[in-house]
Amino acid sequence: MSNVFNAKSLKTKGYLDLPIPKGIDLKEAILELKAKKNAVLLAHYYQTKDIQELADYLGDSLYLAKAAQRVDADIIVFAGVHFMAETAKIINPSKKVLLPDLKAGCSLADSCPPDQFAAFKAKHPGAVVVTYINCSAEIKALSDIVCTSSNAVAVIESIDPDTPIIFAPDKNLGRYLIKETGRDMILWDGACIVHEAFSFEKIVALAKQYPKAKFIAHPESESQVLEIAHYIGSTSGLLSFVQNDPADTFIVGTEAGILHEMQRVAPHKTFVPAPVEDETCACSECAFMKLNTLEKLYLCLEHEQPEILLDAQLMKQALLPIERMLALK
């Protein structure tokens, strides 16, 4: 396979569209390739169950960022979305970082174009810029500190109370943090299409069908949805809650991929995905996350493409706010 063919294929499709040997056991082949190439697989909870089960590190954004920092393998394969693979490359630049499908993007990251955000930032000189990790490397480079949904409250509370804060790109998480911390913040108008798809009315109706169920939600959800939640937390927070709470039924308001891990760690409990406004779509699933497949993962490892490549100066600038986050206790 020539490099020219690679470039054309990746530019048009975002992944390697190549034949796979007939009769191959993809899971076994992936495990063999990982061992042969000294590669590790980092996977987010929102991946398909087949990919989750192959992961060396499975977790939310904060856990995976910390894992990427300490990995000593030659290759990091990131089964997640583009900004996550970028973060791994920024944190551990000497490693080859692969993403099975370059078009595995993020609606939230896309809602914050760097040129527009730079202009927005310029209107508020003196403000500390806190960005949610769900953003591009260019946005991170414009930031003072990065946060995840797991540590966002701690990050906000670490900033001098007299210092104004710009929070981007998620306005829903920002509103939640304003309520939790009491800090007034300047919010960028961005959102995740998955977490904005949940229907307040349908969740209320579903709760009547499951009167003993607890409704749990991710803080990227809209305010009215969060107001009726028994618990609000990051992906890892939600997972911990269902393991430790005495309830046996949960309505889950986040991307549906987490249900697999919830069922694995609490097999005796019942998990019901929160309903969305448009029942004709699989809106509680992130279409970008689901672009990664076993076939693409196999080809990615076999040919060591697509690779995440970033400008050295951009990586240096984007690393500083990530390091400030990781340094927080």
Q: 15 lies in a domain? A: yes
Show the tokens assigned to 23.
């009769």
Mean pLDDT, residues 267-274 taken together: 97
H helix runs in the chain, sequence order: 3-13, 26-37, 49-52, 61-70, 82-91, 107-110, 114-122, 137-141, 152-157, 171-181, 200-209, 223-226, 235-244, 258-265, 294-303, 312-327
> Are 130 and 93 part of one and the same domain?
no
Cα separation of 213 and 206, whole Å? 10
> Are 7 and 101 part of one and the same domain?
yes
282 pLDDT above the threshold of 80: no
Q: What is the pTM of this model?
A: 0.92
Name residue, tokens 């300047």.
186
Show the tokens assigned to 144.
């003072």
> Are 122 and 181 part of one and the same domain?
yes
- Per-residue confidence at 2, pLDDT binned at 50, 70, 90? very low
pLDDT at 12: 87
pLDDT digits 0-9 by tens, 59-68: 998 899 999 9
pLDDT at 285: 85
- SS3 assignment, position 156: helix
225 pLDDT above the threshold of 80: yes
Across the chain, what does the average pLDDT equal? 94
pLDDT digits 0-9 by tens, 167-209: 999 999 999 999 999 999 999 999 999 999 999 999 999 999 9
Range of the domain at 239: 200-273
Q: 67 lies in a domain? A: yes
pLDDT at 180: 97
Q: 158 lies in a domain? A: yes
In percent, the amount of the chain with pLDDT more than 90 equals 91
Cα separation of 137 and 322, whole Å? 10
Mean pLDDT, residues 282-291 taken together: 83
Mean pLDDT, residues 242-271 taken together: 97
Closest CA to 26 of 300, 304, 264: 300
pLDDT digits 0-9 by tens, 304-317: 999 999 999 999 99
Q: 325 lies in a domain? A: no
Q: Which distant-in-sequence residues (6+ apart) come within 8 Å of 325 by Cβ?
A: 133, 145, 146, 147, 148, 151, 155
Name residue, tokens 């400008």.
311
> Are 153 and 218 part of one and the same domain?
no
> Are 152 and 228 part of one and the same domain?
no
Alpha carbon separation from 204 to 198, 218, 224, 270, 283 (Å, rounded): 11, 17, 11, 18, 18
**Which of 192, 219, 250 is the last residue in one of the domains?**
192
Show the tokens assigned to 191.
């959102």
> Are 10 and 71 part of one and the same domain?
yes
How many Cα atoms sit within 13 Å of 261 on the Cβ side?
Answer: 28
Q: 326 lies in a domain? A: no
> Are 17 and 74 part of one and the same domain?
yes
> Are 221 and 174 part of one and the same domain?
no
Mean pLDDT, residues 126-130 taken together: 97
pLDDT at 284: 78
> Are 181 and 231 part of one and the same domain?
no
**Which of 192, 221, 249 is the last residue in one of the domains?**
192
pLDDT digits 0-9 by tens, 56-105: 999 998 899 999 999 999 999 999 999 999 999 999 999 999 999 999 99
Rg (CA), the chain: 20
| Residue 95 · residue 76 · CB < 8 Å | yes
How many Cα atoms sit within 13 Å of 329 on the Cβ side?
Answer: 0
pLDDT at 62: 87
How far is CA 133 from its chain centroid?
Answer: 8
How many domains does the chain contain in total?
3
pLDDT at 1: 43
Q: What is the CATH number of the domain that holds 22?
A: 3.40.50.10800
pLDDT at 11: 76
> Are 100 and 7 part of one and the same domain?
yes
Name residue, tokens 């806190």.
130
Q: 87 lies in a domain? A: yes
- Per-residue confidence at 27, pLDDT binned at 50, 70, 90? very high
Q: 280 lies in a domain? A: no
H helix runs in 142-291, sequence order: 152-157, 171-181, 200-209, 223-226, 235-244, 258-265
pLDDT at 6: 59
Mean pLDDT, residues 22-46 taken together: 97
- Per-residue confidence at 123, pLDDT binned at 50, 70, 90? very high
> Are 176 and 228 part of one and the same domain?
no
Residue 138 CB neighbour total at 10 angstroms: 20
**Which of 163, 192, 221 is the last residue in one of the domains?**
192
Show the tokens assigned to 268.
């005796």
Closest CA to 213 of 249, 263, 253: 249
Q: 327 lies in a domain? A: no
> Are 39 and 119 part of one and the same domain?
no
